[in-house]
Structure 1
Amino acid sequence: MESLPEAHPQEDIYEGGCACGALRFRAQGVPKRVGLCHCMTCRRIHGSAFGSYAIYEHDDVEWSGATQAWLSSELGRRHFCPVCGSVAYMEYGDRSEIDMPLGAFDQTGIFEPTYELYCCRKEPWLPRGVRTEFDMDRD
């Protein structure tokens, strides 16, 4: 596996990767936004009640290792590790943004979601009104 280039010391750098270690990333700076998604695709790929993501500019994330991808919606491509199957990231449309799963970061507690998408699919046992909620996608 190739190694990532050295980080710039004056910038916040957040690293992470897949479950088996074949895929690694380095994200520069703080994300544009952080959110939860309750859509059925996120629920199924994470095997959980929701997915949680830090959204970065595509150019702010560097990768080592290969991914495979599939078209999960008309605009969305979901990338995963071909070795262990871990969710790597999502990109949509013009691919200017990249959605990084919070569970893939090496550190915990670094980003707190401020909104939730597809709350029409939210489990009834999850608390309501904790953050901004959208019935479907953001406007």
Structure 2
Amino acid sequence: MSDAITKSGGCQCGRIRYTADTSEADAYHCHCKMCQKATGGFAATFVFLPVAAVQWEHEPDWYASSPIAKRPFCSNCGSPLGFRFEDHDKMDLTFGSFDDPSDFRPVIHAGAESMHEAWLDTSHLPRQRSDETASIANRWKAAGMEVPE
């Protein structure tokens, strides 16, 4: 049995928080149209793990996204937090909802029928930091704050 690797995460506003044992977790991209619509992205990036490995500090809101699955989210800020088939003992948590997801590596592209190939390799595009973008940095400064990471 592998040693527990506990990670924390939650929604943008902080109302929904969780801890998860990620020692049996796999990360992946799902490109299906339902996940694109649910997250607003070209794909949903998930961490797949046992339901029993997730402990919610505050139970998320859930919506039935189809007759076979439901998705946790925060009704206060709208953050999507995952996906779960009704009849499965495993679930997904959204990659971006983890406080530090940096050590996860994707192992598969699911929902490949809806994949947008042009969005997969963007390494050739220029990179711009938020704190170096005047239109963003000035707004945060006017609010009396620093640009968040």
TM-score, length of structure 1 as denominator length: 0.78
In the TM superposition, residue 18 of structure 1 has moved relative to its aligned partner by: 0.2
Please tell me the residue identity of whatever aligns with 1:80. Answer: F
Task: Give the distance between the partners of 1:43 and 1:111, measured in 2 at CA.
Answer: 20
Residue of structure 1 in register with 2:45 after alignment: 52
In the TM superposition, residue 76 of structure 1 has moved relative to its aligned partner by: 0.8
Residue of structure 1 in register with 2:77 after alignment: 84
Segments of structure 1 that go 5 or more residues without pairing to the other structure are 1-9, 129-139
Q: How high is the sequence identity, in percent, across the aligned residues?
A: 24
Largest Rg, 1 or 2: 2
Does the CA contact (< 8 Å) of 1:36 and 1:52 recur in 2?
yes
Moved segments of 4+, more than 3 Å: none
Match of 1:40 among 33, 55, 61: 33
In the TM superposition, residue 118 of structure 1 has moved relative to its aligned partner by: 1.3
In the TM superposition, residue 121 of structure 1 has moved relative to its aligned partner by: 0.8
In the TM superposition, residue 85 of structure 1 has moved relative to its aligned partner by: 1.0
* 1:49–1:22 CA distance, 2 compared to 1 (3 A): same
Matched, 1:112 2:105: yes
Matched, 1:103 2:63: no
Does the CA contact (< 8 Å) of 2:4 and 2:23 recur in 1?
no
Please tell me the residue identity of whatever aligns with 1:27. Answer: A
**Matched residue count:** 119
TM-score, length of structure 2 as denominator length: 0.73
Match of 1:68 among 56, 61, 65: 61
Task: Give the distance between the partners of 2:86 and 2:14, measured in 1 at CA.
Answer: 28
Residue of structure 2 in register with 1:19 after alignment: 12
Does the CA contact (< 8 Å) of 1:66 and 1:81 recur in 2?
no
Task: Give the distance between the partners of 1:11 and 1:118, measured in 2 at CA.
Answer: 30
Task: Give the distance between the partners of 1:108 and 1:70, measured in 2 at CA.
Answer: 25
Does the CA contact (< 8 Å) of 2:10 and 2:17 recur in 1?
yes
Q: Give secondary structure in 2 for the equivalent of 1:78.
A: strand
Segments of structure 2 that go 5 or more residues without pairing to the other structure are 122-149
